[in-house]
Structure 1
Amino acid sequence: MRDYHISKHNSFYAVGLSYKKADAEVRGKFSLDVPAIDHILGKAKEIGIDGLLAISTCNRTELYGFAQHPYQLIKLLCDETHGTVEEFQEVAYVYKNHDAISHMFKVGTGLDSQILGDFEIISQIKQGFYRAKKYDMANPFMERLCNAVIQASKRIKNETEISSGATSVAFASVKYILDNVDDISDKNILLFGTGKIGRNTCENLVKHSNNSHITLINRTREKAEDIAGKFQLTVKDYGDLQTEIRKADILVVATGAQLPTVSKALIYPKKPLLVLDLSVPKNVSDDVKELDNVTLVHLDQLSQITDETLAKRKEYVPKAEAIIEKVKKDFLKWLETRKFAPVINALKDKLNTMKTEEIDFQTKKIEGFDQIQAEIISDRIIQKITKQFANHLKSNEVDTDDSLELIQKVFQLELHSK
């Protein structure tokens, strides 16, 4: 497999860590919020990195970008987070060029998700690209790659049933509640945090538990009221959190804070309390486990729930992989073409110069010389010659670099870098 470069000195890398080797605590140390991503993009620009995309979800943190060495990207990430390079290297992966491209396709199409077929990640890639563009860090390669991954993701969603059935972190949490709590419709459920996972959990709870005793609390009350309005649920103020926890049988924490928002000090359990923490980094302090009546379950445990839905989804993996291969092949073809486009353009310029000189010469030499006719014929011949060269360079049997060098030598081409 050839290496794919945009520049002679830089390679394309994907560096990151995910749920596969890093537990929630370690992932929490390396998670990035929007200001941190913006800061990384700004610093990357300063040190001359051309093209960078950052994504951070509860399951993974990754940087995709062009660098002379992957350590440049690793350092950018570690400087901006609470983790050290040593901690990162223990759980990290680094992919280069073609492997980095393949990894992004796998991630963006839900095949690498903690729950197979979970397409939440594609919105993170879109968001990451939008931020990269804002900081002028989205070169044509990045733009084309992100669009290809989005296209593959759409096709897999539409052409396979890999995301069929209710399986997501939100559904896994509700499934856990249904499997472990008796008389669920009589229990008091408190949902703290109304981000994306909180909203989805709320929807799943209403749908599957037949419970109307659900209370929402969010730091910003309006957000909670928006969601509560859809499902006719109760909203309480952030200041009532402690009181509401005391009343609750089940507490679902889906806040997006960098530090724990619920600790032992907030809980006085007179009756059993099940706490589900759906946040990364963890938003429920481990000290709540010291309380006799409290059961604490974290996202990572929930995501291990395998059911028939997941088994069914696995059947569609080969079809999804075939779609990825097709879209990726088109992307790589574009990349190859982009690699030799400057040489083909320089060749065209050279042949056009020859044409102009020859037509000038013939115009002076031959009386009544039909310049327009000569132009038409010459242009068609130039078009056919350059197409012949382009087809040669596209061929898999050809060493593109050697051929490019030979064409430049034979025609004494000067390449104008943009």
Structure 2
Amino acid sequence: MHILTIGVNYKNTPVQIREKLAFEPSALEQALTDLRNTKSIFEDVILSTCNRTEIYVVCDQLHTGRYYSKKFFADWFRSTPETLESFLIIKEDQEAIRHLFRVTCGLDSMILGETQILGQVRTSFLTAQQVGTTGTFFNELFKEALTVAKRAQDETQINDHPVSVSYAAVKLLQDTIGVLKDQSVLVIGAGDMSRLALKHLTSSGVRNLTVMNRTKNKAELLAQQFRGKVAPLSDLNTWIDRSDIIFASTSAPDFLITKKRLAPLLAARGIRPLILIDIGVPRNIDPEIAVMDRVHLFDIDDLERIVDENLEARRKAALRIEPLIDSQIARYSEWLDTLGVVPVISSMRRKALSIHSEMMKRIENKLPEMTEQERKVISKQAKSMINQLLRDPINKIKELAGSEHGKHAIDHFAEIFNIADEAKLSGDPIKGEKAKVLPDGQFEEDTRQ
């Protein structure tokens, strides 16, 4: 079996193409089912976000898997493989596994180290699992991907370094003030930067928010979205006096807050400090204000320096994540190597249970007066003896299965115990029965005896 990923992402596909290649949430279950029913495909997961659309499949042959996966992709979006060829990224086996792990850890994201992708991968996997298009391989693979992504966050704190200006501004406030819950915040402007600032402020617990903008209806829409108040720009002096923190992000050609305007207001504030964050271009706040007492002024350059420092910190954290991914890939590869032993252990289980069953029948024929309690005791002891005899061989073959000569070891094991033919008949582990083996190598109790 082989693992393939085929798709498009923000790196090589413009948004006007990506938006046409996104799976509608309402059609995702049908898409998963159709892909699973495609020739050569045994398992599948579909990851569809604003920055990427990728299908992950388990296939029996690489060339047929590639062909039919690309055909499905093209057919679903009413295109042709030739049209999509220049955009499609295709990765196979170890490269596909590494790609999934890097995507889940946020190392392949537009914003390095972002954590939203972890939830998106989890949701995609759980959806596929619910639909029934995952199995032996992907159930284990995606579990490993989610595990390494959580480790990456916990061990490197890569997401602790904000790389958006608005988020950096709020993080700066938290570092300067601490808890923001009781702060009164005025946001001047109703554009995207103001919206993002409001979003991060509310996420940080701020409840006393006021939006001010030249166009009243835009201010009302934004304030309503974040449960804030609205104030006219003509009342700016009043709200400067009432506010602890002021965000300014407008396209005004002149300073909205000048040293001359602020001086008398500061006198009236007493000892209350004022934090001003100017994320407008051109600047909305006179830089000379920075020298005034009890005023802390930060402009876009200050914040971008923080963002640059944080981005560098994320890059360093990303370097620490790569070895975690290597370790998790090795772990999954070892697990893959042991899959060949599953049919052998299943056959051994059936043979052991058959021997136990035949032995109990012979004992019952020879001791017809045996009570039910005596039968249970003998059955239990017989099973215990079989378990003890097989425990070490079973554990040893599980260990050898992951070695360089694992396949030869499995073949010899099957020959020694005369189960080679039955093990072959049990089929591929992806479709066959899972061996019911207890942690110490014992077989589960036969409830028939």
Which of 37, 40, 44 pairs up with 1:52?
Answer: 44
- Which one of the candidate residues 381, 386, 408 is aligned to 2:414? 408
> Does 1:212 pair with 2:218?
no
**Aligned mates of 2:37, 2:25 — CA distance in 1:** 19
* Counterpart-to-counterpart distance in 1, 2:99 and 2:341: 25
Provide the rounded CA distance (Å) in 2 between the counterparts of 1:118 and 1:362.
66
TM-score of the superposition, structure 1-length normalised?
0.64
Residue aligning to 1:286: none
* Runs of 5+ consecutive residues of structure 2 not aligned to the other structure: 171-185, 232-248, 252-279, 282-305, 371-376, 427-431, 434-449
Cα 1:169–1:20 change in 2 (3 A) is: farther
Aligned pair count reads 322
Distance 2:194 2:95 in 1: 34
- What's 2:93 paired with? 97
Matching of residues 311-326 of structure 1 within 5 Å: 311-326=312-327
Distance in 1 (CA, whole Å) between partners of 2:224 and 2:321 is: 36
Report how far residue 345 of structure 1 moved.
2.1
Contact 1:108–1:153 under 8 Å retained in 2: yes
CA distance in structure 2 between the partners assigned to 1:332 and 1:186 by the alignment: 53
**Match in the other structure for 1:41:** 32
Contact residue 211 and residue 223 of structure 2 kept, 8 A: no
Identity %: 22
CA deviation after TM superposition for structure 1 residue 77, in Å: 2.1
Name the residue aligned to 1:135: 131
Partner of 2:308: 307
Name the amino acid aligned to 2:399: N
Displacement of 1:108 in angstroms is 0.3
Structure 1 residue aligned with 2:22: 31
Q: Does the Cα contact within 8 Å between 2:148 and 2:324 map onto a contact in 1?
A: yes
Relative distance call for 1:381 and 1:134 in structure 2 (3 A) is: closer
**Matches of 2:197 and 2:72 in 1, distance apart?**
34
1:398 is matched with 405
**Residue 116 of structure 1, aligned match among 112, 115, 122:** 112
Question: Which of 60, 64, 77 is residue 56 of structure 2 equivalent to?
Answer: 64
Aligned counterparts of 1:356 and 1:217: Cα–Cα separation in 2: 82
TM-score normalised by L of structure 2: 0.60
Partner of 2:45: helix, strand, or coil?
Answer: strand
Question: Does structure 2 retain, via aligned residues, the 8 Å contact 1:50–1:65?
Answer: yes
Distance 1:34 1:166 in 2: 30
Q: CA deviation at 1:153?
A: 1.3
Shift in Å, 1:188: 3.4
1:226-245 counterparts in 2 under 5 A? 227-229=225-227, 231-232=228-229
Cα gap change, 1:212 to 1:83, in 2 (>3 Å): farther
**Shift of the alpha carbon at 1:360?**
6.8
Question: Take 1:217 and 1:325, find their aligned partners in 2: how far apart are those partners?
Answer: 53
Seen in structure 2, the aligned counterparts of structure 1 residues 391 and 201 have a Cα distance that, compared at 3 Å, is same
Contact 1:29-1:83 at 8 Å conserved across structures: no
Question: Matched residue of 2:86: which SS?
Answer: helix
**SS of aligned partner of 2:114:** coil
Conserved? CA contact 1:161–1:316, under 8 Å: yes
2:134 maps to a residue whose letter is A
- RMSD over aligned CA atoms reads 4.2
Which deviates the most, 55-64 or 141-150? 141-150
Determine helix, strand or coil for the equivalent of 1:392.
helix
Secondary structure of 2:54's partner?
Answer: strand
1:88 corresponds to 2:95:
no
Instruction: State the Cα deviation string for residues 26-81 of structure 1 (Å, max 9, x = none).
Output: 32232223134333213224435332111122221111112341222222222233
Query: Is 2:113–2:158's contact at 8 Å kept on the other side of the alignment?
Result: yes
1:167 match: 163
Name the amino acid aligned to 2:43.
Answer: G
Supply the AA of the counterpart residue of 2:326: E
CA distance in 2, matches of 1:13, 1:217: 51
Q: What amino acid is the match of 2:404?
A: E
Q: 1:371 to 1:127 in 2, by over 3 A?
A: closer
8 Å contact 2:10–2:110 — kept in the other structure? yes
Matched residue type, 1:376: S
SS in 2 for 1:163: helix
SS state at 1:330 partner? helix
Which amino acid counterpart does residue 54 of structure 1 have in structure 2?
A: I
Equivalent runs, 1:185-196 vs 2, <5 Å: 188-190=189-191
What is the alpha-carbon distance in structure 1 between the residues aligned to residue 136 and residue 391 of structure 2?
Answer: 26
Aligned residue type for 1:326:
S
1:345 and 2:346 matched: yes
